[in-house]
Amino acid sequence: MTLLGQTVAVAGKDLRIEARGRYALGAVLPFAGTLLVAFGLSLGPGRTLLQQTAPGLLWLAVLFASILAFRQAYQAEGEDGAIEGLLLSPIDKAAVFLGKAAAVTLELLVMEAAVVPIVAAMFALSLGDAPLVLVGAFVLGTIGLAAVGSLFGVLVESPRAREAVFPLLILPLATPVLVAGVKATELAATGRGGQAGSWLSLLVAFDLVVLGVGTLVFGHLLED
Amino acid sequence: MSSAERMMALLTARRGERILAGLALTSLAASAILSLVVSPPDAEQGNLIRLMYVHVPAAWVAYLAFAVVFVSSIAYLVTKRTRWDRLAAASAEIGVVFTALTIVLGSIWAKPVWGTWWTWDPRLTTTAILLLIYVGYLAVRRLPDSPARRARWAAVVGIVGFVDVPIVHLSVRWWRSLHQAPARLLGVPDVSPIMGAALGIGFLAFTLTYVYLMAVRLRVGRLEERAVAEALSPRVGQPVEVLMEEPARG
């Protein structure tokens, strides 16, 4: 089986788990919604302020919610020693990393597709001007985010895992996603989508670096 | 044993440690005299320029320390030798201390010169994120229960964290330049030869201090490992070397 085939197999397995357990949809999505309502309440009903802060708040909600999705992707492996089976199966370790990243990317994209219209409505954000830039920013940003999360999600598996360590590691590493994602969204929302090219290419660079380095080193996180 | 390893063994022996301590202290004293007494006040900033002689070398040591973490992390994954892991761990701890020091010193300098403790300048922001990434690195080191696993996990974080830094820096630089014009950065002040010398000695002193701290931390790392090995050995309280040398007895 090629690396691609193995990746698809791992991703398919994770997506089946999600389809049957509906964790991302049933818990992560409501969490993102709760965050956004809390953000709105903390800022007050002033329309201009909400409009200005909406892109940042949207991406923060995605970032925090994604942490939960990554945890789930690996917690499922911890139950009933499922990870042993994954490790013993005759597949490339890189396929586990890429497959999990692909599955989480899809889950997060579905979640974002639901969250973005809510934000657009609640924060009076106009998103129709540059839909391609918006889609590009979310797809590219989510790939990078999912790559970082799938790489270090293994750490959740530690018997001494402390709740805070995982986000402490992921959030600073994902700074480029936050910055570039927010900027591209902001430009798309203010009718300046044409200027977002450099931000999108920054996201591409981040994705390539994390996926590339991740593919190289992921095996070392698993071997025992 | 390669010459680099022999060098490391020499420097981390007690004797080498004392020599290093002497060199570091002497150069720190020389740096203090040069930067506080001998060098002239700056035309624009007056005596505040003296902060440069500690702030810039501290930043240099921070970056040096994290580069050492990066290289030793790769070396560990390639060779699987514990010494590389010890080196990475020691360097990360010292790097975190110096990054924090850089930020504090920079804040103290920024307050009178820029009129604010903090500005979202790209270099400041990158340094703050750098600090967070390596605090995360140290947190990961405390997670696993087996030393081999800890070393592997830490090495991966050490590699990914370092590779991430240039992208983080690029992103915050663009982020900043698309905002209002950034607060005027300190241009390179008119550097007289004596100021250059003070800065040079500062670099030397901080680098020697780093090497000295590394030597101490590496020795402590070895002692820690020995203590764990002793505690786990069947004859608690006896040095493990004895056990290894005379396996037949007992």
ipTM associated with this complex: 0.89
For residue B232 the two structure tokens come to: 């786990």
CA distance B215 to B221: 10
CA B206 to chain centre: 10
* Tokens 């990393």, residue located: A97
Query: Do A108 and A142 touch, CB atoms closer than 8 A?
Result: yes
B221/B246: higher pLDDT: B221
Chain A CB within 8 Å of residue B133 CB: yes
Exposure of A28 by Cβ count < 10 A (0-12 exposed, 13-18 middle, 19+ buried)?
A: buried
User: B41-67 pLDDT, tens per residue?
Assistant: 887 788 888 888 899 999 999 999 999
Please tell me the predicted confidence (pLDDT) of residue B180.
Answer: 38
Question: How does residue B12 score in pLDDT terms, banded at 50, 70 and 90?
Answer: low
| Listed range (B70-74, B116-120, B146-150, B239-243) with the worst mean pLDDT | B239-243
Residues of B in contact with A152 (CB under 8 A): 157
Residues from chain B that touch A173, judged by Cβ atoms under 8 A, are 133, 136, 160-161, 164
Please, which residues have CB within 8 angstroms of residue B234's CB and are 6 or more apart in sequence?
A: none
Q: pLDDT grade, residue A105 (50/70/90)?
A: very high
B20-43 tens-digit pLDDT: 999 999 999 999 998 888 888 887
Lowest mean pLDDT among A6-20, A29-43, A57-71, B187-201: B187-201
In the structure encoding, which two tokens stand for residue A104, read together?
Answer: 């989480």
Q: Rounded CA gap, A113 and A6, in Å?
A: 28
**Chain A within 8 Å of B140 (Cβ-Cβ)?**
yes
The identity of residue A85, as a single letter, is G
CA distance B84 to chain A (A): 15
Lowest-pLDDT range, A128-132, A156-160, A217-221, B34-38? A156-160
**Structure-token pair, residue A206:** 């981040």
- SS3 of B205, please? helix
A105-109, A154-158, A163-167, A193-197 — which one is most confidently predicted on average?
A105-109
Q: What's chain A's average pLDDT?
A: 88
Alpha carbon B135 to its chain's center: 12
CA distance A212 to A162: 28
Q: Which residues contact A43 (CB under 8 A, 6 or more apart)?
A: A49, A50, A53
Q: Rounded to a whole number, what is the distance in Å from the CA of A60 to chain B's nearest CA?
A: 16
**B204 alpha carbon, distance to own chain's centre:** 14
Question: What is the model's pLDDT at position B86?
Answer: 93
> Quick one: average pLDDT of B3-7?
70
**Average pLDDT, stretch B224-244?**
69
Portion of chain A with pLDDT greater than 90, in percent = 49
In chain B, residues with a C-beta closer than 8 Å to the C-beta of A168 are: 132, 135-136, 139
Tokens for A32?
A: 């993102």
For residue B183, which of B123, B109, B120 has the smallest C-alpha distance? B120
Alpha-carbon gap, residue A223 to B112, rounded angstroms: 53
- Express each pLDDT in B89-104 by its tens digit: 999 999 999 999 999 9
Higher pLDDT, A58 or B236: A58
Q: Where are the alpha helices (DSSP H) in chain B?
A: 3-12, 14-33, 52-79, 82-114, 122-141, 147-177, 193-232, 240-245
Residue B241 predicted with pLDDT over 80: no
User: Residue B226: its pLDDT value, please?
Assistant: 85
Q: List, for residues B164-183, the tens digit of each pLDDT value.
A: 988 888 888 888 764 434 34
Chains A, B: CB pairs < 8 Å: 97
A34 contacts chain B (CB < 8 A): no
Determine whether the interchain pair B152/A223 forms a contact, defined as Cβ–Cβ distance below 8 Å.
yes
Answer yes or no: is pLDDT of B242 > 60: no
Question: What confidence category does residue A76 fall into, taking pLDDT thresholds of 50, 70 and 90?
Answer: confident
Q: Output the pLDDT for position B236.
A: 63
Asked if A6 contacts A99 with a C-beta cutoff of 8 angstroms, the reply is yes
- Give the model confidence (pLDDT) of A181-215 as tens digits: 999 999 988 888 788 888 999 999 999 999 999 99
What is the per-residue pLDDT for B184?
A: 44
CA dist., res. B45 & res. A137, Å (int): 44
In this structure, what are the phi and psi dihedrals at residue B46, rounded to the nearest 5 degrees?
65, -140
Specify whether the CB–CB gap between A99 and A11 falls below 8 A.
yes
* pTM of the model as a whole: 0.86
pLDDT at B192: 77
Q: What is the mean pLDDT of residues A127-133?
A: 82
Q: Do B136 and A217 touch (CB under 8 A)?
A: no
Shortest Cα distance, chain A CAs vs residue B168, angstroms? 5
